[in-house]
């Protein structure tokens, strides 16, 4: 157990610091090169600088990751993509509500992300190693479906409500792209997040050139994903 804790602290600190710093650097593109997932940027923006929203989002996926690690013994991608960046952002924003001085600061995000990553990875690995094999089978049959329901049902509803609350245009785009994502990918969250970004861009600057380019990229991406997932074949096209 001691060996697991020591290794988890080191790996969690290195991974958490790198991912948190990379997420912060995404706000500075194209002036500086970033290292992060587009969905991480979209989800951080969706919380609109509210520390409680970041904590709620991060802790929600912590439950999902805990269920997965108990059932399978492996960490999910949500640990670094969603949990660490959001908990780090929430921690910084509690002291200073200005995202440009906190969430957008790679150095501050790296330092807090290292601590958060170390704690989260250690907690999950310790939890996994302390669960007997018999309980792991139970967790796989009960907790995994529950966490899957949260991902596929609860989270899309939360993001859709956030899109509707953001305004008429944002709500429309979130609904349209969320519906397309649900049909093509089986999960509406990516589409709703993209809809929020596009809707907010149009709301602030109008349907200008950047908004048109962004919409074109999203349409091309959806069409490509639909093609390789056989979506058009299922429709008989």
Torsion of CA 176, 86, 64, 195, to 10 degrees: 0
* Per-residue model confidence (pLDDT) at position 137: 65
Domain count, the chain: 2
Across 198-212, average pLDDT: 85
Kindly state whether residue 137 falls inside one of the protein's structural domains: no
Regarding whether 156 and 104 lie in a shared domain, the answer is no
* Global pTM value: 0.59
Kindly state whether residue 146 falls inside one of the protein's structural domains: no
* Per-residue model confidence (pLDDT) at position 9: 92
* Cβ neighbourhood burial of 208 (10 Å; 0-12, 13-18, 19+): exposed
Kindly state whether residue 171 falls inside one of the protein's structural domains: yes
Kindly state whether residue 142 falls inside one of the protein's structural domains: no
> Which range of residues forms the domain containing residue 100?
1-131
- In sign, the C-alpha dihedral spanning 81, 85, 87, 93 is negative
pLDDT tens digits, residue range 47-82? 888 888 899 888 888 887 887 787 666 787 888 888
Q: Is the pLDDT of residue 218 over 70?
A: yes
Regarding whether 166 and 125 lie in a shared domain, the answer is no
Measured CA to CA, the distance from residue 162 to residue 183 in angstroms comes to 20
Kindly state whether residue 177 falls inside one of the protein's structural domains: yes
């Amino acid at each position: 157990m001691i060996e697991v804790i020591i290794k988890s602290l080191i790996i969690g600190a290195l991974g958490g610091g790198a991912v948190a710093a990379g997420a912060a650097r995404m706000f500075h593109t194209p002036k500086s090169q970033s290292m992060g997932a587009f969905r991480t940027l979209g989800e951080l923006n969706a919380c609109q600088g509210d520390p409680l929203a970041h904590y709620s989002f991060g802790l929600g996926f912590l439950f999902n990751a805990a269920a997965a690690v108990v059932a399978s013994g492996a960490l999910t991608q949500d640990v670094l993509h969603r949990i660490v960046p959001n908990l780090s952002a929430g921690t910084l924003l509690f002291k200073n509500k200005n995202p440009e001085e906190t969430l957008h600061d790679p150095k501050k995000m790296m330092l807090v992300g290292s601590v958060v990553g170390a704690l989260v990875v250690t907690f999950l690995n310790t939890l996994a190693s302390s669960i007997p094999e018999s309980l792991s089978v139970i967790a796989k049959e009960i907790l995994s479906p529950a966490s899957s329901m949260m991902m596929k049902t609860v989270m899309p509803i939360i993001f859709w409500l956030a899109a509707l609350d953001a305004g008429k245009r944002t709500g429309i785009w979130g609904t349209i792209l969320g519906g397309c994502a649900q049909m093509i990918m089986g999960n509406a969250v990516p589409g709703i997040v993209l809809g929020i970004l596009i809707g907010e861009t149009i709301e602030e600057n109008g349907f200008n050139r950047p908004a048109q380019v962004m919409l074109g990229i999203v349409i091309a991406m959806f069409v490509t994903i639909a093609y390789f997932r056989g979506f058009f074949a299922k429709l008989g096209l």
